[in-house]
Amino acid sequence: MFDRQKKGDRAVLVLPHSRGEGDTARRAAEFAELVKSAGAEVLGVISARVEDPNPRYYIGSGKADEVAEAARALEADLVLVDHVLTPVQERNLEKHLGIRVVDRAGLILDIFAQRARSHEGKLEVELAQLKHLATRLVRGWTHLDAQRGGAIGNRGPGETQLETDRRLLAERVKMLTKRLEKVQTQRGQQRRARLRNTVPRVALVGYTNAGKSTLFNALTTGEVFAADLLFATLDPTVRKLENLSCGPAVLADTVGFIRELPHDLVAAFRATLAEARDADLLLHVSDAADEERERLHRVVDKVLEEIDAGDVPQLHVMNKIDLAGAEPRIDRDAAGKPVRVWLSAATGVGLDLLRQALGELLGGDRVQSSLQLPLSAGRLHARLKAAGAITGETVDEHGWQLRIDAPRSVIAPLSGGNAAETRLLRELLAPAE
């Protein structure tokens, strides 16, 4: 056994791969970006062929010896493994190498812990880390075997440090879960309030390096922080999107996705990708020049389902057509509805087509009209105002002259007044029916 070091970021990378695996070079580059985002210094890289995983180390015992020798020669502080290890495998590797071992799941959790800014995000990332740690309390540290006792009043079998850690961790998980339930209740109340917002919400989603932030900057006047790091920020950036035929919308740039996200981290994604879950439309950005784009598209869809955003309508954006040699265009379904836009965010080619498609998709279910209300319809006026459906109004002795701009789903439920108010709302909704 050994005393686990707590500091140090000089790392040796271990890249397991199998014969039937896809682009190993791409995966290795992606893992290197994760390591860079975590702030570690890469001292060396060791590739390991794994056809039949070793239950003790995952990699073979000979390869484990090679990693140990490299770590000693390079004076590394830790070993980062590009695969999810079982608690026993992680413990055995640490014992064999004599230094810390962090698998892919632990590395991503560490990055999220560094990047979380919102209160809910911090709570959920901590909860994910604790659930991950709970499976790692398998006596990988020498002090966990020590029993309490020895002094007067403390003698007897007592409980081991391992049992104490498990109990304290379970109590912390229980407390965080209760806090998150309270935050989720508050989020539900905020979500109901957002239903009164007439401005459509659009969220950018996609695999990392698909060009989401470049597209965001091209569509809006604001500049998104664009560091050469995965998960540079977990807090979405929101800007107003104008020059659409349907009127203004709100555009949010969310965190990029990546393969093999830790299961415990899906909860954290529920906080950081709230903009995607609550959006009226998702712009699913893909790299048109990437040969694996269809597989990566499925990775993103899988994560969207896990965060309860799988039912949100999508418009697929094929970015980087300048690299793919494709032409800008809009692909439509049998009903003529836009389903895919081909463009280049870097050069600006095709951005007008994207705005056109957004106008069609967001404006098709909105009510944009004028409404004359008599003074006797004060209750209906109040409901329309509370729903945020009124964008302009004048009043005289005859009543209110209103300009209405709101989703049909917001206006339709307001017809619970008297017969006269119901008739007025039916006339308002009729042109779009």
For domain 10-114, give its CATH number from 2.40.10.10, 3.40.50.300, 3.40.50.11060, 3.30.1330.10. Answer: 3.40.50.11060
What is the architecture of the domain spanning 366-432? 2-Layer Sandwich (3.30)
What CA–CA distances, in Å, run from 276 to 179, 201, 306, 404?
23, 9, 12, 27
Reported as half-sphere exposure (CB side, CA atoms, 13 A), residue 88 has a value of 4
- Which residue in the block uniquely carries the two structure tokens 């109990």? 167
C-beta atoms surrounding 265 within 10 Å: 22
371: left (phi over 0), alpha (psi -120 to 50) or beta: beta
Q: What is the pLDDT of residue 162?
A: 67
The residue among 3 and 362 whose pLDDT is bigger is 362
Q: What is the pLDDT of residue 23?
A: 66
272: left (phi over 0), alpha (psi -120 to 50) or beta: alpha
**Is residue 227 pLDDT above 60, yes or no?**
no
58: left (phi over 0), alpha (psi -120 to 50) or beta: left
Range name among 102-106, 129-133, 193-197, 379-383 with the lowest pLDDT average: 193-197
pLDDT digits (tens, 9 = 90+) for 228-274: 556 655 556 778 888 887 778 888 887 777 776 666 666 656 655 67
C-beta atoms surrounding 182 within 10 Å: 10
Q: What is the pLDDT of residue 409?
A: 64
Range name among 119-133, 204-218, 228-242, 292-306 with the lowest pLDDT average: 228-242
Phi, psi of 253, rounded to the nearest 5 degrees: -100, 120
Determine how β-strand 399-407 pairs with β-strand 390-396: antiparallel
Q: What is the pLDDT of residue 431?
A: 54
**Is residue 216 pLDDT above 50, yes or no?**
yes
pLDDT digits (tens, 9 = 90+) for 388-416: 778 889 998 888 999 887 767 667 777 65
Phi, psi of 285, rounded to the nearest 5 degrees: -90, 130
Q: What is the pLDDT of residue 349?
A: 95
Query: CA-based angle 6:9:15, to the nearest 5?
Result: 110
Whether the domain at 10-114 and the domain at 197-363 fall into the same CATH topology: yes
**Is residue 6 pLDDT above 90, yes or no?**
no
**Is residue 286 pLDDT above 90, yes or no?**
yes
Q: What is the pLDDT of residue 388?
A: 75
pTM: 0.67
Q: What is the C-alpha to C-alpha distance for residues 222 and 105, in angstroms, rounded to an integer? A: 33
Q: What is the pLDDT of residue 215?
A: 92
104-115 vs 119-134: helix crossing angle, rounded to 10: 160
pLDDT digits (tens, 9 = 90+) for 302-329: 888 877 788 888 999 999 999 999 999 9
Are 220 and 251 in contact by the 8 Å Cβ rule? The answer is yes
Residue from 127, 316, 144, 296 nearest 215 by CA: 316
Q: What is the C-alpha to C-alpha distance for residues 203 and 206, in angstroms, rounded to an integer? A: 10
Q: Which CATH superfamily groups domain 197-363?
A: P-loop containing nucleotide triphosphate hydrolases (3.40.50.300)
Question: In the chain, where are the structural domains located?
Answer: 10-114, 116-149+156-193, 197-363, 366-432
**Is residue 39 pLDDT above 50, yes or no?**
yes
Average pLDDT over residues 341-357: 94
Determine how β-strand 100-103 pairs with β-strand 78-81: parallel
